[in-house]
Structure 1
Amino acid sequence: MHIAFETPDQPDVHALIAELDSYLYSLYPPENVYALDIASLLQPNVLFAVARDGGGAALGCAAVVVTPAYGEIKRMYVRPEARGQGLARKLIATLEEQALAHGCRTFMLETGPTMPEALALYERMGYKHRGAFGDYPEDPLSVFMQKDVP
């Protein structure tokens, strides 16, 4: 397994993002899915990581949007057949490390309440529950989390 920063504008990454969107829309109404599209992921302040197996097949992806105030974790997804191997944790750690090099010391994210595995992962990685941030509204279908790195 290998994680690298890549462009999201690749056919196999489009497929990953389409799988993620399909999953999210199966759980939540469209107005509660705060997904970034490919054009947004291509912005210069977005770091986008892809995890690939030894043969180069895309297994997962994640992004961090670096702002002056914080880095926001977005588009976190690992294909079901690749779960349980620590890949999600490695993707997030890779994003955090690179964002730290860009001066980020605070990380935030928004996720859904019906994804217990994701919530448990974020908590294990030091993320704490908090209120809404940025342009997000307070909503029972959103869980907001934050991690501060000294």
Structure 2
Amino acid sequence: MEQQIKITRTTSEDKDFIALVRELDKSLWETYPELQSNYWGNNIIELNPNAIVVYIDNVAVACSCFKKYDSNTIEIKRMFVSPDARGKRLAQRMLQELEAWAATMGFSFSVLETLYKQEAAIGMYQKAGYSIIENYPPYEGLKNSICMKKSI
């Protein structure tokens, strides 16, 4: 039987979004224990009205959100797919949903930051049209960060 995939627009106060972000943080700290002090402040999600949660058969398995970076640009944040849901192109679908949402709000560009060990994510972002750029604030000078940008 085919799995039912549903992408829901929500806010950062959504209980499923919060639970998935906790999973993401746990995964990041296990992968990058040495970076907690440098990055923890950048991973706080303030109230955000532009979040999405992906459900497979009514189980929350992936999330992301965007926030306004400047008058023309959004920043993709908190992109996460649960390990058991990977390989289903959910990250690509989330990016498309967030970019389309931002475009309807008048934004023209999307930026994001990821960490150098996230090779699969970097490859996926590049396939989605993102290019590596100079690190933007607050990631300037952080050698573990990879910043990327795309026109939307």
TM-score by length of 2: 0.88
What residue ranges of structure 1 are gaps of 5+ in the alignment?
none
Matched pairs, number: 143
Alignment of 1:1-150 (within 5 A): 1-28=5-32, 29-30=35-36, 31-33=38-40, 34-37=42-45, 40=46, 42-43=47-48, 46-54=49-57, 56-66=58-68, 67-149=70-152
Name the structure with the higher strand share: 2
Q: Is the 8 A contact 1:63 1:73 kept in 2?
A: yes
The separation in 2 between residues aligned to 1:53 and 1:144, in whole angstroms, is 30
What residue ranges of structure 2 are gaps of 5+ in the alignment?
none
CA RMSD of aligned residues (A): 1.4
**C-alpha deviation, 1:25, in angstroms:** 1.3
TM-score by length of 1: 0.89
Q: Is the 8 A contact 2:17 2:52 kept in 1?
A: no
The separation in 2 between residues aligned to 1:147 and 1:36, in whole angstroms, is 23
Query: Percent of aligned pairs with the same residue?
Result: 29
Q: Is the 8 A contact 1:127 1:146 kept in 2?
A: yes
The separation in 1 between residues aligned to 2:95 and 2:106, in whole angstroms, is 16
